[in-house]
Amino acid sequence: MSLSETAASVSGAFDSIPIIDIGHASTPDERIALAQQIREACVNVGFFYIRNHSIPQQTIDNVFSAMKAYFSLPLETKMKLYHKEVGNFRGYQPEMDSNTDLANKGDFHEGFAISWEELVPKENDEKRANDGAMAGTNVWPSEPAEFREACLNYCHAAIGVGKTLLPLFALALNLPETYFDDKTRNSAVAMRVLHYPPQTGPEDDGIVGVGAHSDFECFTILWQEPHIQALQLLNSENRWVDAPAIPGTLVISIGDQLARWTNDVFRSTVHRATNRTGVHRHSIPLFFGTDYHVQVEPMPSCVSPERPPKYEPVAAGDYVQQRLRDVYYRNTTLT
C-alpha cells in the first residue's frame, strides 16, 4: 500500500498515544522496525512518546530548576526582556500575551523563547547565515545566573534527539535515511520554557493554558513536568484525548511543516493544554524545523492522482514567522 493509500484509509479516531522506545537503532533492521512504528503513529495520531531519548536527567533537572527560579522573579524584572520589544519572538512572554485560539480570551501561561546559540557565542555564527525572516539573536536575563547555560545545554541535547529522529522519519516515508540531511544543517529550532499557573476560574471562562492549535515547525520535542495532566489531543470524532505526563519520556508531535511536506500523510494534530490540577505546571517544547531558507512543498512520494498536492511551496522561515505573527500580533478578544 502506498503512503497516500495508507493515509486515506486512516480514520483518526485514536483514543491513546503510542510509546516508542528509540534506544535501539544501531542496525538497519532496528531502524526499519522503529520507522514502521513511527509511520503508524504519525499517520494515525500525529503524536507519540519516546523512551530512552538520551537527554541526561541532570540536564533536565538543571533547566527545570533554572526556569522555576526565573518565573518566580517579579513581573517587572521579567518584562525587561519583553519579546515584542526585543524583536523576532525571543525573550519573555507574559500571561495572556498570546491568543492561540480566537474562540478563547487568551493563553494563560508565561514563557521565555530562545533559538539556537553556541554555548561559547560566535560573533558570526554560520548556522544563522540563512535565517532570513527568522533572523535574530537570543537575549538572556541576568538572573538566575545559570539560566542561559541550563537552557542551552537542554536545547543542544534536544536537538540531538531531533537529529536521531530525522533518519527514522525519512525511512518512515520510504526515503533514504539521509533525505533530510541537507535540509536541516543549521539547527533551525525555537525553544520555549513555559509556566502554566493553576486555572481556578469557571471551565467556560474562555481562558485556557494554551488554546487549540497545531504547531508550525516539522515536529515538536516536548518535555512535560511529570504527573501533571494538561496536554490533550483532538481526534477525528472531536473528542479530547489526554496525553499524560509520563516520567522518562518526551512527547513528539508532528507539526505543520512536515504535514505540508508529506501532503498530510503525516498528521499535524490539533492540541491544547489546560491546567486545572491546582498546582503549577512547567513544560519545554522545542520546535524542530527545516532550515529557514528551504522551500517546503509536498513530496512526490506523498502525491498521487487521488491525492493531488494540497499546498503551494513556501519558504520555511516565512511560514513560521507569519504563523507566529498570527498568534502574538492579531487582535484578541481580551476585555
Residue-level pLDDT at 275? 95
- pTM of this prediction? 0.92
- pLDDT on residue 44: 96
What amino acid is encoded at 270 in this protein?
V
Long-range Cβ contacts of 264-268 (<8 Å, 24+ apart): 264/7, 264/310, 265/3, 265/4, 265/6, 265/7, 265/42, 265/43, 265/173, 265/302, 266/42, 266/43, 266/46, 266/173, 267/10, 267/12, 267/42, 267/43, 267/44, 267/45, 267/46, 268/46, 268/214, 268/215
- What is the pLDDT, as a whole number, of residue 9? 85
Q: What is the model's pLDDT at position 170?
A: 95
Question: What averages of pLDDT result for each successive group of 10 residues across the chain (335 residues)?
Answer: 82 94 92 96 97 97 98 98 87 93 91 92 61 70 97 97 96 94 86 95 85 93 97 96 97 96 96 95 96 89 91 89 76 38
The closest of 112, 63, 71, 82 to 225, measured between CA atoms, is 63
At residue 198, the 3 state secondary structure works out as coil
Asked if residues 187 and 127 have their Cβ atoms less than 8 Å apart, the reply is: yes
